[in-house]
Amino acid sequence: MAAKNPYELRDPREQYPKPPFPEQPQPAPGLAARMVPEPDHGEDSYRGSGRLEGRRALITGGDSGIGRAVAIAYAREGADVAINYLPDEEQDAQQVIKLIEDAGRKAVAIPGDLKDEAFCRQLVERTVQELGGLDILVSNAGKQVFRESVDEITSEQFDQTFKTNVYALFWITQAAIPHLPAGASIITTSSINAHQPSPTLLDYATTKAAIAAYTEALAGQLAEKGIRVNSVAPGPFWTVLQPSGGQSQEKVRTFGQDTPLGRPGQPAEIAPIYVLLASQEGSYMTGGVYPVTGGKVF
């Protein structure tokens, strides 16, 4: 999908597939390998330059989508990487593990449900044990279910969305902070929905606004420890979250069409900002929410 030389000058409007896309319903959580077209996570394009040499990273939702692209980039920049994912996503996760190992780095697979507080805390402890420490925490896993009306959102769905997107972030960062040295980085994943909420993603959008506020507040707390905290706010990205219930199939067909660039972003296109925020090149960046939206105003 991507050009052989990822650094050659290209028209961003034509760099990746544009809608219309075929309908492709999947049961949640879904598998990236079943998407048409299959997302580009940087498997064939991302080139590292040692910017994260010797670092140790934990990435939630690391099996597919943005988390997978970040895991690939981090490994190729020199980091050892632990990924978390749901047990149903094992097929995608094992592909990521191989890609990390192919980059010459240590890979740790830790399946489990982030809605469970005890598991979230165990996730951090196991990462520290397996990698020998923790320098980078990327909170990326998310739950997104479209509903046309607020009346269609059950208390169960509302609770699961908040536990996956917000509670897990709180539990994991709380457990991770005692292990993080000065110079460490926490990176959360918010969304354009934090500022431009989709009417069909009411509960999801609410959690993404909460994540942005949590990030900004936590950055203020941890600055005195030399720990930086930032958030990335994606626009429409072509990930398995969309066809597996995150959008209607009608919206999947036209996904990303309403951006100025006329297409959805690919995970490979957002991974570099996660690298920047984790690296020493981002040493003066904390408390920020950085939009990557294909031109949609944030």
Bridge partners (DSSP) listed for residue 231 = 188, 289
Rounded Cα distance, 100 and 87, in Å:
19
Bridge partners (DSSP) listed for residue 187 = 138, 230
Active site annotation includes 204: yes
Identify which of 137, 143, 141 has the alpha carbon closest to the alpha carbon of residue 174.
Answer: 137
Catalytic residue among 85, 204, 274, 290: 204
CB distance 203 to 185 below 8 Å = no
Rounded Cα distance, 88 and 123, in Å:
17
Alpha helices (runs of H) in the chain, residue ranges in sequence order: 65-76, 90-102, 117-131, 155-162, 168-176, 202-222, 249-253, 271-278
Which residues does the annotation mark as catalytic? 204
